[in-house]
């Protein structure tokens, strides 16, 4: 009887693990979407970013506190629409990695594309961003000039 129960548990484990991973992916996608609409809202970002969060930018590396202080000083209300392109989430236990691009379009129709990698850790039952890196996409090269 013990062997039968053990066998059944082993057979059910991959399906359970898959369900847990899919749930975690959904949670990260929801968190990424919340982050995207809260980019200029330091109060909302306070709960998304872990206390030990670091953000790697082309201009250098900043901490959570530096990012939030900067946003509080230069809070702006813009009319930029942002959306994800190719958002991909991978789960490794209590760590998640999200990659993709953000397409930002201003009210004049100008667009800017930024590639990103965000790293999340699940702590005390909730996901928080611990690391982010952004790199602007290079504008398309004019092949006639090369």
Give kind and range of the element (H or E) at residue 61. strand 60-63
pLDDT (0 to 100) of residue 127 = 98
pLDDT (0 to 100) of residue 146 = 47
Helical ranges in 1-146 per DSSP H: 2-37, 42-48, 64-73
pLDDT (0 to 100) of residue 5 = 60
pLDDT (0 to 100) of residue 10 = 55
pLDDT (0 to 100) of residue 91 = 97
Long-range pairs of 76-85 with CB within 8 A, sequence gap ≥ 24: 76/40, 77/40, 78/40, 78/106, 79/106, 79/107, 80/104, 80/105, 80/106, 80/107, 81/105, 82/36, 82/37, 82/39, 83/36, 84/32, 84/33, 84/36, 85/113
Decide if 38 contacts 44 (C-beta within 8 A).
Answer: yes
Beta bridge partners of 96: 91, 120
**Below-70 pLDDT ranges, the chain:** 1-2, 4-20, 75-78, 139-146
Domains with residue ranges and CATH for the chain = 2-145 (3.10.450.50)
pLDDT (0 to 100) of residue 72 = 83
**Structure tokens given for 12:** 């059910």
């Amino acid at each position: 009887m013990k062997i039968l129960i053990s066998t059944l548990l082993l057979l059910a484990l991959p399906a359970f693990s898959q369900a847990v991973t899919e749930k975690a992916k959904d949670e990260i996608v929801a968190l990424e979407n919340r982050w995207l609409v809260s980019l200029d809202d330091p109060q909302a970002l306070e709960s998304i970013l872990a206390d030990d969060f670091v953000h790697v930018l082309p201009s250098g590396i900043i901490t959570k506190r530096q990012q939030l202080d900067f946003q509080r000083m230069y809070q702006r209300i813009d009319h930029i629409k942002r959306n994800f392109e190719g958002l991909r989430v991978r789960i490794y236990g209590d760590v998640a990695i999200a990659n993709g691009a953000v397409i930002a379009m201003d009210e004049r129709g100008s667009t800017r594309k930024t590639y990103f990698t965000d790293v999340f850790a699940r702590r005390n039952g909730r996901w928080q961003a611990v690391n982010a890196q952004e790199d602007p996409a290079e504008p398309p090269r004019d092949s006639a000039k090369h």
